[in-house]
Structure 1
Amino acid sequence: MEYTTFGKTGLRVSKMGLGGAPLAGDFGKTDESEVQRVVHEAIDLGINFIDTAPLYGKGESERRIGRALEGGRRERVVLASKAARSDMRYDYKTIIQSVEDSLARLRTDRLDLVQLHDVNTQPYELIIEEAIPALQKLREDGKVRFLGVSTKDLDLLMRFMRTEAFDAVQFYARYMLLDHSAKDALLPLAREMNLGVMNGSVLGMGILAETPAFFIGEETLRRAAEGIAKLDFLRTRDGPGGLIEPAMRFSFTNPDIHVTLSGVATLDALRMNAALCDGRGLEPETQAKVFELFQGDSVF
């Protein structure tokens, strides 16, 4: 397992993080005992970053992770969650209550990182005037160590970055084989500001594993299929899953991405992905070809 420093937080984090959405059953039925084994095995493999959210299973991901971290495991991980859900209004009171509820579900008295979740769903002024002050109050009270913001809207994310209110950022499906739009502007800005960077959905909501999430629309699948057809030269094996290894290595080896989140719900998938976090990336000429093939493209 490779490690790096998570921006200006100074936290030492594994370059592979465990993503919490599949642990709630959001992408298919999951067995709680298997979830506990996945969390325990992840820690044993050296993964020390876990990211979840109230949105995932409407709190079930947090509840399951909280139970799995009992017995001293909580102190071995950097625990990140998010504030509120997109079906809520991100006012001061809601943000405070959301984090309090997350602390209870996760069975901890503090979170290492709290991120405002999918800020593209909320008015910008509301985030500035109420959500950020609420997070700052939680930090003053010792319930939160560091603050983050997340959205797949890169222009909006950079706007929030420039407020200098945050220590970390998370985007998803914006630095993967089919869409590397975070590369040219956002990642250089994050490096300049020394922010921690999390990359979610490096497999494009399952598209690059050829098991797309059930909620992805037909037009998106059509565009993705056209892109995947151009990636046959990267396949590590025939058939479904042949693009998982190059997709994971593509993200793991970018020095500006501190944590690549891997959303898995089985031990086999966890072990396979963790084995790829070994510092070996795509060959330079291969990576250059990927950049050239999909320059300016976006699947989602």
Structure 2
Amino acid sequence: MQYTTFGNMDLKVSKLGLGGAPLGGVYEETDKAEIQRMIHEAIDLGINIIDTAPIYADGESERRIGQALTGGKREHIILTTKAVRSDRSYDYASTINSVEDSLVRLQTDWIDLLQIHDIEVQAWDMIMEETIPALQKLKQAGKFRYLGASSRNLPLLMKYMKTGLFDCIQFYTRYMLIDHTAKEEILPLAKEMGIGVINGSVLGMGVLADAPGHFLKDEVVIEAKRRVDMLDFLRKSEPKGLIEPAMRFSLSHPDIQVTLTGISTVNALRMNVAFCDGVGLPEQELQEVYRLFDQQKLLTDPDYTK
């Protein structure tokens, strides 16, 4: 497992992290016992960051993670969850309640990194005047250590970054083989400001694993598949041959500290951990990927899903 410095945070983080949505069974039915085994093996293999959110399976992801981290395992993990749910208000009281409820489900007294979830779903004034003051109070009380923001809307994410309030950002489907627009401005700005970066959904919500999610809009899937067809030169002999290049594409970027893997089985975990050896795409292939989709965002923000 490879490790790196997490922005300006006083944390050493594994380049591979566990994404919490599949841990709660968001996309398909999952076996609770298998999830527990997978989290334990992830820790044994050197993964030290797990990212989740209260909206994932209505809190079930947080509950399962909390259960898996009992018995002294919590101290080995950088635990990150989100503040508030995108289907609810981000007002002061709701923010306080959201974080307190997450602490209960996670069976912990503190969260290492707390991210404001999907900042695009709430007004700027709401977040600045209600959400952030609530979080500042919680931080002063020792409920969490570092503050982050998550969104796929890169211009909006940059606006929040420039406030100087955030230690970390998380985006998804914006640095992957078929849409790498995050490398144009977001990644250089994060590096300049010392802001940590988490990259989610590097498989394009299943598209790059030849298994697009049923929740994706038809036009997104059509365009994504068109782009995937242009990447046949990356396919190897193994099944679903774009998983490995997709993972290595993100894991090898020097300004992305954490690449999340959304998995729910021990076998899938072991496969993805094998890609954490510091080897990226061959330079010629990397430059061809950059050339093919240079500054070409995959359709519009924020509506990927039905």
| TM-score, normalised relative to structure 1 | 0.98
Counterparts of 1:64-79 in structure 2 under 5 Å? 64-79=64-79
Counterparts of 1:87-166 in structure 2 under 5 Å? 87-166=87-166
Q: CA deviation at 1:283?
A: 1.1
**How far apart, in 2, do the equivalents of 1:237 and 1:27 lie?**
27
**How far apart, in 1, do the equivalents of 2:238 and 2:266 lie?**
22
The answer on whether the counterparts of 2:149 and 2:169 sit within 8 Å (CA) in structure 1 is yes
**How far apart, in 2, do the equivalents of 1:99 and 1:211 lie?**
34
Secondary structure at the aligned position of 2:182 is classed as: coil
Residues 11-47 of structure 1 deviation map (CA, whole Å, 9 limit, x = unaligned):
0000000000001111110010011011001000100
Q: CA deviation at 1:238?
A: 5.5
**How far apart, in 1, do the equivalents of 2:236 and 2:47 lie?**
24
- 1:298 is aligned with what amino acid? K
**How far apart, in 2, do the equivalents of 1:120 and 1:44 lie?**
36
Question: Is 1:224 matched up with 2:255?
Answer: no
The answer on whether the counterparts of 1:13 and 1:258 sit within 8 Å (CA) in structure 2 is yes
The answer on whether the counterparts of 1:171 and 1:199 sit within 8 Å (CA) in structure 2 is yes
The answer on whether the counterparts of 2:184 and 2:295 sit within 8 Å (CA) in structure 1 is no
Counterparts of 1:167-246 in structure 2 under 5 Å? 167-237=167-237, 239=239, 241-246=240-245
Secondary structure at the aligned position of 2:183 is classed as: coil
**How far apart, in 2, do the equivalents of 1:7 and 1:188 lie?**
12
**How far apart, in 2, do the equivalents of 1:5 and 1:256 lie?**
10
The answer on whether the counterparts of 1:8 and 1:195 sit within 8 Å (CA) in structure 2 is yes
Q: CA deviation at 1:284?
A: 1.3
Secondary structure at the aligned position of 1:7 is classed as: coil
Secondary structure at the aligned position of 2:8 is classed as: helix
**How far apart, in 2, do the equivalents of 1:28 and 1:236 lie?**
27
**How far apart, in 2, do the equivalents of 1:13 and 1:151 lie?**
21
**How far apart, in 2, do the equivalents of 1:158 and 1:193 lie?**
11
Which contiguous aligned blocks of 4+ residues in structure 1 show a shift greater than 3 angstroms?
none
The residue that corresponds to 2:19 in the other structure is: 19
- Alpha-carbon RMSD across the aligned residues, in angstroms, is 0.8
Secondary structure at the aligned position of 1:148 is classed as: strand
Counterparts of 1:237-276 in structure 2 under 5 Å? 237=237, 239=239, 241-276=240-275
The residue that corresponds to 1:289 in the other structure is: 288
Secondary structure at the aligned position of 1:233 is classed as: helix
The answer on whether the counterparts of 1:132 and 1:165 sit within 8 Å (CA) in structure 2 is no
- 1:255 is aligned with what amino acid? P
**How far apart, in 1, do the equivalents of 2:174 and 2:256 lie?**
12
Residues 142-185 of structure 1 deviation map (CA, whole Å, 9 limit, x = unaligned):
01100000000000000000011110000000000000000010
Give the total of aligned pairs.
299
The residue that corresponds to 2:301 in the other structure is: none
**How far apart, in 2, do the equivalents of 1:237 and 1:157 lie?**
38
Counterparts of 1:24-63 in structure 2 under 5 Å? 24-63=24-63
**How far apart, in 2, do the equivalents of 1:164 and 1:269 lie?**
37
Secondary structure at the aligned position of 2:4 is classed as: strand
Which structure 2 residue ranges, 5 or more long, are not aligned? 299-303
**How far apart, in 1, do the equivalents of 2:160 and 2:71 lie?**
37
Q: CA deviation at 1:237?
A: 2.3
Which structure 1 residue ranges, 5 or more long, are not aligned? none
**How far apart, in 2, do the equivalents of 1:270 and 1:238 lie?**
16
- 2:292 is aligned with what amino acid? L
**How far apart, in 1, do the equivalents of 2:280 and 2:257 lie?**
15
- 1:47 is aligned with what amino acid? I
Percent sequence identity over matched residues? 58
**How far apart, in 2, do the equivalents of 1:134 and 1:274 lie?**
37
**How far apart, in 2, do the equivalents of 1:72 and 1:130 lie?**
35
**How far apart, in 2, do the equivalents of 1:234 and 1:217 lie?**
25
**How far apart, in 1, do the equivalents of 2:193 and 2:237 lie?**
39
